Every structure is written in structure tokens, then in C-alpha cells.
Amino acid sequence: QVQLQESGPGLVKPSGTLSLTCAVSGGSISTDDWWTWVRQSPGKGLEWIGEIHHAGSTHYNPSLTSRVTMSLDKSKNQFSLRVTAVTAADTAVYYCARVGGTTAFEPRLDYWGQGTLVTVSS
């Protein structure tokens, strides 16, 4: 059973950098294909932030691409999200998830972390 757990500061100042980590157990970021971040602003729907492949390639949402970076730490079996120049609009619950299947056949987000709330406020 794959388990994911997000961690990071719950409060970030405006114009600062949001940094989150997703620790993976029961699966390997070195072999499983893609890993993703999704966020949900309070009372709103789901927004796909981007995904990272175990070989390091990435796809980002064009609405965020200038501020987002994803990376892997294979030694710790975890992956990370960095969002720069944050504003109140970045306040959200951030989820990490695994992409099951492959991007060529029946891709889906089959395992999710519980989510972590990040508030942008001074």
C-alpha cells in the first residue's frame, strides 16, 4: 500500500517562497512513473499544479509555471514543491499524489496524501 505524507510550513509571508515535501512509503519514486501536486483553495475545486517523472522531467500548469519548481530526492524517497512570490491567492490545501497507470495508458491519481494547509499571510 502506497502512502504519501505532505510536510512543510503552514504559514508563508506574502512574496515569500512556499516549500513542501511529500514523503513516499510503500512505493518508489525511483521507479514509479510520475508524481504530482494538486491544490485546493478554501471552498474551491481542485487545481493541478504539475507533475514530475522519476527521471526528473516535469510538466507544470501554465498558470503557475513561472513560479513553480518540482524536484526529487531519491535518497529519501520524497519529492518536493516550491512556489515563489506567493500571494493570498496561493492559500490552499496542497496535496501530493501518485500517478498510477502510465501517461500513455489509463493514467490516474491513485494514491493521495492527506493534504496540508498553507496560508499566505503577514
- Residues at the site binding other proteins, with contacts judged by CB under 8 A: 36, 38, 45-48, 50-51, 59, 61-63, 95, 100-101, 103, 105-110, 112-115
Distance CA 53, CA 7 (A): 20
Q: Please check whether residue 72 is in contact with residue 54, taking contact to mean a CB–CB distance below 8 angstroms.
A: yes
State which residue, 50 or 70, has the beta carbon closest to other proteins.
Answer: 50
Please report where in the chains the cell 491544490 appears, as a residue: 39
Least separation in angstroms between residue 28's CB and other proteins is: 19
| Cβ–Cβ < 8 Å for 2, 26 | yes
Rounded least distance, CB 113 to other proteins, Å = 7
What are the beta bridge partners of residue 122?
none
CB closer to other proteins, 45 vs 75: 45
Query: Where does residue 19 fall: left (phi above 0), alpha (psi -120 to 50 degrees), or beta otherwise?
Result: beta
CB of 90 to other proteins, least distance (A): 17
| Least gap, CB of 29 to other proteins (angstroms) | 19
